[in-house]
Amino acid sequence: MDQVKTDPRIIRTRKLIMDTFIDLSGKKEFKDITVKDITTEAMINRATFYYHFEDIYDLLDKVLSEVLLVNLKSEVYEKEEINEQSLTSIFKAITNFQMSLSNRCHRGYEDTIARIIRDQLEVLLYKMLLKQHQVKEDESLKVAAVMLSWGIYGASVEWRRNSQDATPEEYIKSAIPYILKGIE
Amino acid sequence: MDQVKTDPRIIRTRKLIMDTFIDLSGKKEFKDITVKDITTEAMINRATFYYHFEDIYDLLDKVLSEVLLVNLKSEVYEKEEINEQSLTSIFKAITNFQMSLSNRCHRGYEDTIARIIRDQLEVLLYKMLLKQHQVKEDESLKVAAVMLSWGIYGASVEWRRNSQDATPEEYIKSAIPYILKGIE
DNA sequence: GTAATTATGTTGGATATCCAACACAAGAAT
DNA sequence: ATTCTTGTGTTGGATATCCAACATAATTAC
């Protein structure tokens, strides 16, 4: 209701910075990208960068969150329940997202990326759980969301490490019933 | 020497507007493009548009001039003399430019476009003539540039109308000696 | 090692851009 | 004819962005 419109310059500038960063990260590794590189390419002042982001890690964080959010199409899932189908879709989205990242050579930032993924997952799963149980907030559901997010993320790691001969769906299928029993 | 740097925001904003305009003019006819269309798409305020351009015709003027300038690679030609080779290249550039325009359906603006082309040509040719005759300025050379620009432009119109079975080079080749005799 | 260069953040004052509002014109809808 | 809508240009005050300068850390060069 009381949402104050954000200044269009802010939207435009953030988009410029983020797009430029994504663009650059396709050309060189994250560790070789400087703030100056980004601002020069994006045609904005360096001071303006710091007006929007704490530092380059903050930018990485926000860019990845946004990309992941698109992958998760969360506006769709938020309205759904947690069941075999939605869980499988989410798992697919996560593995998909990680595969797209591994092409971009963000070596040394696996921890950061992992945290971002789990954070986003957790928020999404918590919303779905709340909806499913018809409550406004609930601490135990929050913890459940934490555990589910770690579980899904961990499964995606293990899948990448061991089982890429199976599809993500196949890999996770047999485990899902046990998970679902816990939260129903 | 005393060139004052233009504010980066100006460069960025003008580029945004011009690129958006070029983009839109590939999707609909010029007469259907409004200032609001452009500013919305470019994510800038309408008032900002008027800070940079008098109106949409002024924008058309500047966009076409710039595109044409690139076609003419004038920074190259400015240093050359007017001879068979450079005249042919320029003629090719003009016909090329007009062909690319005709795909974009600017029906009803042929006069505007013609004026822009001749203006740019005239400036370029005048510079080349000055260089060739080793003077700083000269009224009769200016008039010569006017006539040459009209001549080249007219030839390009006639070529488009009648002789597209000949290449631009072939079309203009036999006439060039007569032109060159006049200015040498 | 140490000098020289390059990147990071921060600040105060200058400038481009935004917003809301206005008057006006042109076309479409009823 | 008359609303109604949509686009054009313009203005004054608010805000994001720029610039120049600075201190500091990190890298590179010698």
Residue pair A132/A89 in contact (Cβ under 8 Å)? The answer is no
Span CA (A107) to C1' (C2), Å: 33
Q: State the average pLDDT over residues A97-120.
A: 74
Q: Which of residues 8-37 of A touch strand D (CB under 7 A)?
A: 9-10, 12-13
User: Which residues of B are less than 8 Å from A43 in CB distance?
Assistant: 8, 11-12, 15
In angstroms, what is the C-alpha Rg of chain A?
Answer: 18
Q: Is the pLDDT of residue A36 over 90?
A: yes
| Per-residue confidence (pLDDT) for residue A2, from 0 to 100 | 47
Q: Which residue is nearest to nucleotide D10 (CA to C1')?
A: B47
Give the residue, B165 or B145, on which the prediction is more confident: B145
Kindly identify which residue of chain B lies nearest to residue A13, measuring between CA atoms: B43
Q: What is the pLDDT of residues A55-71, one digit of tens each?
A: 999 999 899 888 888 87
Q: Is A73 on the interface with B (CB under 8 A)?
A: no
DSSP symbol at B31: G
Cα B30 to Cα B131: distance, rounded to the nearest angstrom: 38
Span CA (A100) to C1' (D24), Å: 37
Domains and CATH numbers, chain B: 8-53 (1.10.10.60), 59-183 (1.10.357)
Cα B125 to Cα B182: distance, rounded to the nearest angstrom: 14
In angstroms, what is the C-alpha Rg of chain B?
Answer: 18
Q: Is the CB of A172 under 7 A from strand D?
A: no
3-class DSSP assignment, residue B4:
coil
Give the residue among B118, B35, B120 at the shortest CA–CA distance from B110. B118
- The partner residue sitting opposite B8, judged by closest CB among A11, A12, A43, is A43
Q: State the average pLDDT over residues B63-89.
A: 82
Residue B2: pLDDT band (50, 70, 90) is very low
Question: If you average pLDDT over every residue of chain A, what do you get?
Answer: 85
Among the residue ranges A94-98, A99-103, B13-17, the one predicted with the least confidence is: A99-103
Cα A41 to Cα A24: distance, rounded to the nearest angstrom: 9
Q: Is A6 on the interface with B (CB under 8 A)?
A: no
Task: Judge: B11–A45 Cβ closer than 8 Å, yes or no.
Answer: no
| Per-residue confidence (pLDDT) for residue A93, from 0 to 100 | 87
Q: Is the pLDDT of residue A4 over 90?
A: no
Q: Is B8 on the interface with A (CB under 8 A)?
A: yes
User: Which residues of B are less than 8 Å from A12 in CB distance?
Assistant: 43-44
Cα B113 to Cα B60: distance, rounded to the nearest angstrom: 9
Cα A129 to Cα A61: distance, rounded to the nearest angstrom: 25
Q: Looking at CA atoms only, how far is residue A181 from chain B in angstroms?
A: 49
Span CA (B24) to C1' (C23), Å: 29
Q: Is B40 on the interface with A (CB under 8 A)?
A: no
User: Distance of CA A138 to CAs A8, A58, A128, A129, B81, Å?
Assistant: 37, 29, 12, 9, 81
Q: State the average pLDDT over residues B72-97.
A: 82
Q: Is the pLDDT of residue A170 over 90?
A: no
Structure-token match 């939207």, residue found: A11
Question: If you average pLDDT over every residue of chain B, what do you get?
Answer: 85
Q: Is B85 on the interface with A (CB under 8 A)?
A: no
How many beta-carbon pairs under 8 angstroms link A with B?
Answer: 14
Q: Is the pLDDT of residue B183 over 90?
A: no
Interface test with A, best of B9, B18, B40, B49 (most A CBs within 10 A): B9
Q: State the average pLDDT over residues A88-116.
A: 77
Q: Looking at CA atoms only, how far is residue A154 from chain B in angstroms?
A: 41
Q: Is the CB of A167 under 7 A from strand D?
A: no
Q: State the average pLDDT over residues B44-66.
A: 92
Residue pair A123/A130 in contact (Cβ under 8 Å)? The answer is no
Longest dimension (CA), chain A: 54
Backbone angles phi, psi at B165, to 5 degrees: -75, -25
Task: Judge: B12–A45 Cβ closer than 8 Å, yes or no.
Answer: no
Q: Is the CB of A3 under 7 A from strand C?
A: no
- Which strand D bases fall within 7 angstroms of a protein CB? 6-12, 15-21
If you write DSSP's letter for every residue of A14-65 in order, what string do you get?
Answer: HHHHHHHHHHHHTTS-GGG--HHHHHHHHT--HHHHHHH-SSHHHHHHHHHH
